[in-house]
Structures are given as C-alpha cells and as structure tokens.
Amino acid sequence: MPYSTASIRNVALAGHPAAGKTTLFEALLHAGGTVQTAGSIERGTTLSDFDPMEKSRGHSLDAAIASTDHGGIHLNLIDTPGYPDFRGPALSALAAVETVLVVVDADHGVEYGTRRMMDYARERKLCRAIVVNKIDHDGADPARVLEELRESFGPVCLPLNLPTGNGSGVVDCFGSSAGDSDLGPVADWHQRIIDQVVEVNETVMEHYLDLGEDGLGGDELHDAFEQCLREGHLVPVVFCSARDGTGVKELLAIAERLFPHPGEANPPPFEKRNGAGMVAVQARPDPDAHVIADVFKVVNDPFVGKLAAFRVYQGTVRRDSQLFVDDGKKPFKVGHLFKLRGREHIEIDQAVPGDIAAVAKVDDLHFDAVLHDSHDEDQIHLAPLDFPRPMFGLAVSATRKGQEQKLAAALHKLAEEDPCFVVEHEAETNETVIRGLSDLHLRVNLERLQERHGVEVASRPPRIAYRETVSGKAEGHHRHKKQTGGAGQFGEVFLRIEPLPRGGGFEFVDEVKGGTIPGQFLPAVEKGVRQVLQGGALAGYPMQDIRVIVYDGKHHPVDSKEVAFVAAGKKAFLDAVQKARPQVLEPIVDLEVNAPEQHMGDISGGLASKRARINGTDALRGGEIVVKAQVPLSELEGYAAELKSVTAGRGRYSLDFSHYEPVPAQVQQKLVDAYKPHHEEDG
C-alpha cells in the first residue's frame, strides 16, 4: 500500500541472547499479515535467521529486516543479534530506527544484554520500550521482572498492559482503569502511568488537574506520551508471549497509536564539516527536499552482489534517482530499489522520508555512507556510533598457495559487513590479522570465509596490540648530511616531545621561526616522525599520546630536499624518545564473567593470577553471579577454555576495551629484548 512518513514506524528488537527477539519478530510479521505462519527457530523456518550458519547455531548472527502493514501503519522491523560477539550489526541497526524494543525474558529478568542495549539506546537518544516476553512459561514471574526493571532503569519503567490468567492474556492499563491482572488491580497501574505522562507537559497537566482524565483529548495525551518517550521520561513496558501470540496484536496496536513516526522522534544527529570542526545539521522529513539517506547495513550476497540497506531521512528516493555517495563527484543511478523481507528483495518504486530500502550492485557503497542528490549535502555524516573496540585477534594465512589475493578480497567483504570486524596488515611481522569482539566472533567469520568465499585459512594467535608512548619531556636533534657526488642531501631538525593525556593521540606543532626550516619541508619532518610512530621506537609497537614540537633547524639552498628532512625528522624524534622515559602500554579490558555462585572462588583466584583488578560482584537470580574486573588483554589467551573447565561449561564472559596503561617493568624488558634482535637484523 502507498504510505506516508506519518504512517511509518521503525523499530529495532534488541536485548539479551535467548530473550525471544526472533520469535517476536516472526509473531509481529504474522500478526500483521506479512507471513501466513510464524517461523520456528527449532525448525529453521524463520524469515530472520535465513543464513545456514544461523539455522545450524539456532541464534542470530546478523541483523534482519522486514516490514508489515497493519491498521494504517507501515512497520519496519529489524531483528538484531543478542550475543555480545555480534554487537556490530545490532548497534548499526540503531542508526535506522526511532524506537528500540528491548526484549526481556520473563523467566530470567534483567540480564547483561538488557542493560547494554538500554544504555546504547539512551545514549543515542532513541525512544525505548521494553517487552517482557514468555509470560506463559512455568518459571515466569512478571511481577518480579517489572520490579527488577524499575530498580535497574528507574521508576520511568511503567506498564502499558498487564498479564492476566497466569500469562494467558493481557489487559490494557493505559487506556483503561477497569479490571484486575496478575499484578494487581489495573486502576493502580493506570493511575501511575497517567500521572507520569501528564506531568511532562504543563498544558496537559493543567487540563488534567482542572478537568480530570476525561478532560484530556486523545491527541493531547498522545503528544504528551510522545514527549515522554523522546525525553526518556517514560520507558513503557508491555507483556506478551511471542510463541503463542499472547499480547502480540496488542503490541502492534501500541506501535500504531503511541510509538513515534520519523517526524516526531528526536532528530537524527547529522553533522557537517565546517572548517576544522563539525556543526549540527537538521534533516527534515520533507518528501520534496534534497535526499539525505544513510547506509546502515551492507551484505555481499554471492548472487545479488553488494546489497546496501539505507534509511531515508530527507527527500524521496525513486527508481532511476541519481545519488552521490558521501563527497563523490559522480552519481550512481538507482536502477532497482528494494524493500527487504529477510532473504527476499521486493522491488518498489520509491522510498519516502523515514522509510528503509536497499540498492544492489553499487561498489562505492559502504557502512555509514551518506546518499544524497545534491552537492549542497557534501560533507554531511551521521554522528558516529560508539562501537566496542575489537580486541580479539587472529593472524590468518591462506592454506593453499595462490589464494592470497582471494583471501584479501574475501576479508575485505566481511569487514564491509561488520563494523566490529577489522582486517589489519602488521608490517613488522608481515601478518594479516583479523580482529573482532570475541573468539566466537572470529571463528564465525572464518567459517564464512570457507562457506561463502571458498577460502580455507590457517590461524594462530597474533601479537597483542601493545602501544608505545613517553612519560617525560625531552629534546631531540639530528643533522642529515649526505654527499655522494653531484647534488647532496642536507636537513637539520631540532624538536621537543612531551606526553599527552592517555587517549590524546598525536599532535605535530610548528614553532619554527625565521624560516630556518622552509615551510615546504615541514610536512617531510612530520612524515619522518610518523614513520617512527607507526613502527615504534622501543619494542616495535605503534606510538601514541605524544606531542612533537619542531622549533628550529637548518637548510641548504641547494642540497635540502624532502628526503633529507624525512630522515632528519625521524632520527631527531628517535633521539628525543630515548631521553623521554619511553614506555610500552598494554590494552586493559573490562571483563564480566557470569557463572554459578559455587565457582566464585575459583574464578576470583584465576583472575588474580592474571593481574586482574576485581571491581565487584553482583548476585543474579537462580544462584548466578557476575564478576566484574579489569584485566590486561595479554593475560586472557586461552581463558575461554579455562573458564569452561572451571565451571563445567556453565561460565561465560564478555570483554570491552577500557584503556591503555604501562606494562610492568619486567614485561617491558621482555618485549624490548624480543624486539632488539629483529630490529638489528632489519638495520
């Protein structure tokens, strides 16, 4: 059916693994009439998990998109993976929606993934709602889960409906105050949520105080509800059982009546470069304005080629539109425009503001590319998402000779699809290193290499991503002079270095006076410095958090040339580094271990032997604990097997990069000693 921006609802399903996101995705599509029968994870028939690897593993590895038309709305749904190993596709989906539905298991309540996705959505200023799923299970305790939600995320968590008949049905408690529920009288919860909604808007509050609830018009209450969602003043909670359909149609009705359309939610955080900085840009959901769209998902399909899913924020994308990619000078023609329905690609004529669509076979497209139809929109980008840093690494090589080029191309395609999967070439060791969020994340991508691209690889642990820096200030000097007959080489550089705060990166400052180093040679000095930054000065690791100030030098009117100042800059920087108390930094990660309580002692003892700082433990329902610690990444090699052994397979853990800090002196000495022989051979 033709639809406008006002009828679109964009919703991502997110949350902890096994909370029932994919089952809810299927149930919503079935209730909306898109599919005749809801798919089953057990039978491998879901629209969402269509990839053979997803079917064999029984859980999502990537985000899936589908839409349904129901009751006057066009609902775009994105099912996201729950496992933290595949958070890249999950967070990418947040760039395309106004509302995040965080799905919670009524058996287990608030879990690690629940907190993470609630936090990500809040930081992105998205509207949040919570679905408590599986209310019909024997172990379900909706009252306890609602209390836990309110304890974890505040009293802004209030129900729009309540379970009845031990989870066999739901009753509305927002639009009605009559009846009873498994959580007590409906009137009690009705009053709480009405009070919460009306207090956000002074006009609505005045009408409510003067005339009571009957004096509030439907539009007035709707607008106040929308404002509550936008401002985080309300996180509505709805109850359902996706497997048997309880509460699913009611959830569709809530999406229609209460969830924001693209013109109502918080504006997307677009930015435009302005000189050295960025300024905010307002994208208007106006169908007649210039096009602004953002690519949030890329798939390299072996049959269709590169497929890019994008969200339209402004203007209308039509078949045969001419669109620029980022700041490109040459547009591409939209030959075919698609709506995605799991694996299916359904051709459409246009995509209006707020809609989600896809194009195929455009090689220039990449994740986070901005599509537009006028150079007025050059330099515009969405504010970047805060992705976790990929910290796990494997060095990989093709097992068969002659497949190196094929391996490189296949790795590039996989990296295009997942912002948390990174491919690096380590010049020092001539290794190709893949980095991801966990061992599982990397193993899945190695399987994809073989199944999709026919490339078999050997893998082994890579070097840890150490870094180098300096802890003091120092001066450096070098005169580069070479005379070999004919034109010579001459360049002399004086510089100072000083440490920057951790995470400060690199700064190059020109304080040369009187033209002692002509301006055209300063980039060459910086190039020499950057060569050391890349290759390291102490143990062969990249350098960071350093300011370099070039303040003096000498040149020769005939013999000075770029190569001389590259060499002088490099040697002067090395000279300064040796005097500035150089340090090796190691990556420290935030570790969370979930395990049965009886293994607490073994886990804590094991972590203590790994130079870990344990920051606390939380007790969970069902005799589980969460141990939180900060640990050097280098100490965690083989930890998955160790934890499995200690907990009889019941322990699991997740990592997030925290910061870099200096390694202990004895570790630094080992790294330096290991580097010296290799360094001397290179010399």
Q: State pLDDT tens for residues 39-91.
A: 888 888 888 888 888 888 888 889 999 999 988 899 999 999 998 889 999 99
pLDDT of residue 135: 95
Q: What percent of the chain has pLDDT over 90?
A: 60
Would you call 601 exposed, middle or buried from its count of C-beta atoms within 10 A (0-12, 13-18, 19+)?
Answer: exposed
Q: Of 215, 232, 258, which closes a domain?
A: 258
Q: Rounded to whole angstroms, how far apart are CA atoms 230 and 5? A: 18
Of the candidates 429, 114, 312, the one whose C-alpha atom is nearest the C-alpha of residue 323 is 312
- Bigger pLDDT: 112 vs 280: 280
Q: Do 84 and 125 lie in a common domain?
A: yes
Total of domains in the chain: 5
Tokens 């799991």, residue?
A: 342
Residue 674 lies in a domain: no
- CATH number of the domain that 483 lies in? 3.30.230.10
pLDDT of residue 681: 46
Q: Rounded to whole angstroms, how far apart are CA atoms 255 and 277? A: 38
- Tell me the three state secondary structure of residue 354: coil
Q: Do 569 and 660 lie in a common domain?
A: no
Q: Of 382, 417, 436, which closes a domain?
A: 382
Q: How confident is the model at residue 677 (pLDDT cuts 50, 70, 90)?
A: low
- CATH number of the domain that 420 lies in? 3.30.70.870
DSSP letter (8 states) at residue 384: P
Residue 408 lies in a domain: yes
Looking at residues 265-274, what average pLDDT do you find?
88
pLDDT of residue 680: 47
pLDDT of residue 474: 97
pLDDT of residue 620: 74
Q: Rounded to whole angstroms, how far apart are CA atoms 87 and 385? A: 12
Q: Do 220 and 146 lie in a common domain?
A: yes
Contact (CB, 8 A) for 630 and 586: no
Q: Of 580, 608, 623, which closes a domain?
A: 580
Q: Do 627 and 565 lie in a common domain?
A: no
Q: How confident is the model at residue 177 (pLDDT cuts 50, 70, 90)?
A: confident
Q: Do 494 and 508 lie in a common domain?
A: yes
Helix residue ranges per DSSP H, 42-141: 52-57, 87-94, 112-123
Residue 675 lies in a domain: no
Contact (CB, 8 A) for 149 and 130: yes
Q: Do 119 and 242 lie in a common domain?
A: yes
In tens, the pLDDT along 399-433 reads 888 888 899 999 999 999 999 999 988 765 678 99
Q: Do 11 and 71 lie in a common domain?
A: yes
Q: Rounded to whole angstroms, how far apart are CA atoms 481 and 44? A: 71
Of the candidates 248, 237, 259, the one whose C-alpha atom is nearest the C-alpha of residue 193 is 237
In tens, the pLDDT along 609-664 reads 999 999 999 887 667 888 999 999 889 888 888 888 898 877 888 878 889 999 99
pLDDT of residue 214: 66
Q: Residue 285: is its pLDDT beyond 70?
A: yes
- Bigger pLDDT: 575 vs 219: 575
Q: Do 128 and 231 lie in a common domain?
A: yes
Q: Do 206 and 297 lie in a common domain?
A: no
Q: Residue 492: is its pLDDT beyond 60?
A: yes
Residue 514 lies in a domain: yes
Residue 319 lies in a domain: yes
Residue 93 lies in a domain: yes
Contact (CB, 8 A) for 495 and 551: yes
Of the candidates 502, 465, 459, the one whose C-alpha atom is nearest the C-alpha of residue 391 is 465
Domain ranges, residue 426: 392-460
Q: Rounded to whole angstroms, how far apart are CA atoms 483 and 556? A: 13
Looking at residues 119-138, what average pLDDT do you find?
94
- CATH number of the domain that 652 lies in? 3.30.70.240
Q: Do 122 and 247 lie in a common domain?
A: yes
Cα separations in angstroms, 311 against 316, 377, 582, 609: 11, 16, 47, 48
Instruction: Return the top range by mean pLDDT from 212-221, 282-291, 435-444.
Output: 282-291
568 Cα distance to chain centroid: 41
pLDDT of residue 562: 93
Q: Residue 38: is its pLDDT beyond 50?
A: yes
pLDDT of residue 460: 86
Q: Residue 579: is its pLDDT beyond 80?
A: yes
Neighbours of 134 (CB within 10 A): 27
Q: Rounded to whole angstroms, how far apart are CA atoms 252 and 256? A: 6
